[in-house]
Amino acid sequence: MSGEVLLRGVELHPRQDPVDCRIRGGAVVGIGRRLRPRPDESVVRGDGGALLPGLADHHLHLAAMAAQRASLDVSALSRHGLASSVAQAVAGEDGWVRAVGYDDVVHGDLDRTVLDGWNRVLPVRVQHRSGALWVVNSPGLERLGALTAAHAGIEREGTGRPTGRLWRADAWLREALGGRPPSLRAVGARLAALGVTHVADATPDQGAGRLLSEAVRREELPQHVMTMAADAGLPPHPRLSIGPLKFVVADHALPDVDGLAGRMRQAHTDGRPVAVHCVTRTALALTLAALDGAGGLDGDRVEHCADADPAAAAELAARGIRVVTQPTLVALRGDDYWERVDPADRPDLWRYAGLLRAGVRVAASSDAPYGDPDPWAGLRAASERLTPSGRVLGADERVAVEVALRSMLSPLDDPGGPARRVAVGRPADLVLLDRPWREALLSPDAGNVRATFIEGRIVHGARQLG
C-alpha cells in the first residue's frame, strides 16, 4: 500500500466520535469528518477502532532476538531435560549447538566440564537467561581460541585454563565466531505486528550500531531505531539515531567509581547522555556516585533499576535521571525474584508507581529477548504485577494501563516524557486497533492490532481493509 492513505472512521481520543485521517508524504495531513477520498489514495476502513501513535520499546536487543529464533530454548526444562536436549541437539548452520534460557537456580551450575559430560562432540554454548553469561564446552572453547584470548570476561581456573564461563563477552564472542550476522527481517516484522514503530537497542558493544544501520538501510527493520552502542560515525539515515551511551555496572565485577565517572564524563563531552545497566541496589548506589562525579547531562538514564528503596528513588528524581523498567519481567520471573532476594528487599523490587510518586520519569520496555517483546503483555503486567504463580509482587507499584501506555508513546530520546500525538503535521507512525480506546485499555492484547504504519507506509495488516 502506498503512503497516500485515507483512514475512514477512526477514534483518535477516548469517547470521541470517529473521524477520518489522511496520510500523505509520511505525515498526517488532514483530520476531519467525511473527508473526500482522492483518486491516488487508498482507503482503509477504521470501523471506529482507536488510532494511536506507534508504540516504542525503550530497551531491547534486536540481534539477540534474531539469534534466539535459531536457538534451543531450555527455559522450561529441568536440569535432566537440559542435559538430554544438549546431548541430542543438532548443530545449526554455523556448526554450533546454541541454547538460551539457562537458569542457574533451576538448572544448577554449569561449566566446561558439565557441558562436556553432556556433549563433547559438537561445540556448545549456553546463554544465561540474564544475557550476562555464556557457558561453553571444550570443543567450543577450542574453536573460539579462548585458551590464548585476552578478554577479561573469560573466567579461568588457577592454572589459566578457561572454566567455560564467559562474562559480558558478547562482542568478543561475536568476533571470534565470525560469519554473517543473522537477518533482522523476521524481528522487524514481528515487532510491526505488535504495533511497535520505535525501538531503542540497548546492546552496548562496538559494532552493534553498524549492524543495525545496515539492517535499517536494507529495510530488514522498518522501525525507527535508536542505538546505544559505542559506534561512532554511522552513516546518516532518517530512521536511525544515536542515543545515550550504554554502560553496564555488572554485579560480578563492579567497576571503579572514579574510572566509571571518567568514562561517563567523556560520553557527556561527546554529547551523549549515558544509559546505565543497574540491577542491584549496590550497582545503583555506585552509578549515582559515578554520575555525581561525572556531572549530569539531560537524558541520563538507568536501565532496569530492579532494586531501589524510596531513598534511592528520591536520589534519582533529584538528579533528573530517567528509569527504563521492564514490567514484563515481573510476569515472567516474579516468583524467582521473590524467592532469591532478602525478604526485606521485596517491597523494593521492580518499582514503577513508587518511582513516579518520587518524581522520576519512567518508561516501560521489554528487554527482549530476555523479556516478552509483546508491549500489550507489558501493559497487563504493569497494571497487574502478577507473577507466574498468581502472586502480586508489589501491589503499590501497579500503574494504570493508560500510564504505562503513555510511556510507550514517549519519544525514544525522552523516555517517560510527553506522549507523541496523532495530529496534522505529525509523522504517520501509527497503530490502528480493531476496537475503540475504552475497550482496548480494558483488555490490552496484541490481537487488537489491525494495522501498523511507519512513515505512512503499511508495514503490517490492513491490506484487506480497503
Pair (338, 198) in one structural domain: yes
pLDDT of residue 96: 92
Picking from 156, 177, 198, the residue at the C-terminal end of a domain is: 177
Hey, how many other C-beta atoms are within 10 angstroms of the C-beta on 259? 10
- Read off the pLDDT of residues 73-87 as tens digits, 9 standing for 90 and up: 999 999 999 999 999
User: What CATH number is given to the structural domain containing 432?
Assistant: 2.30.40.10
Q: Are residues 115 and 210 in the same domain?
A: no
Q: Which three cell numbers stand for residue 11?
A: 477514534
> Which domain-ending residue is among 177, 201, 227?
177
- Shared domain for 390 and 297, answered yes or no, is yes
pTM: 0.89
Banded model confidence at residue 45, pLDDT cuts 50, 70, 90: very high
> Tens digits of per-residue pLDDT, 203-222?
998 899 999 999 999 999 99
- The residue segments making up the domain with residue 331 are 57-61+183-408
- 275, β-bridge pairs: 246, 301
Query: So what's the pLDDT on residue 465?
Result: 57
Which of 151, 177, 203 finishes a domain? 177
Structural domains in the chain (count)? 3
User: Which whole-number Å values give the CA distances from 8 to 34, 49, 89, 177, in the listed order?
Assistant: 8, 10, 52, 51
102 in the same domain as 200: no
**237-252 pLDDT, tens per residue?**
999 999 999 999 988 7
Q: Are residues 195 and 265 in the same domain?
A: yes
All three cell numbers of 204, joined, read 552496548
What gap in Å lies between CA 196 and CA 148, rounded to an integer? 43
DSSP string, 313-342: HHHHHHHT-EEEE-HHHHHHHHHHHHHHS-
Distance separating alpha carbons of residues 460 and 210, to the nearest angstrom:
26
Is the same domain home to 385 and 246? yes
Q: Are 391 and 335 in contact (CB under 8 A)?
A: yes
Point out which residues pair with 134 in neighbouring strands: 127, 166
- 210 and 81 in a single domain? The answer is no
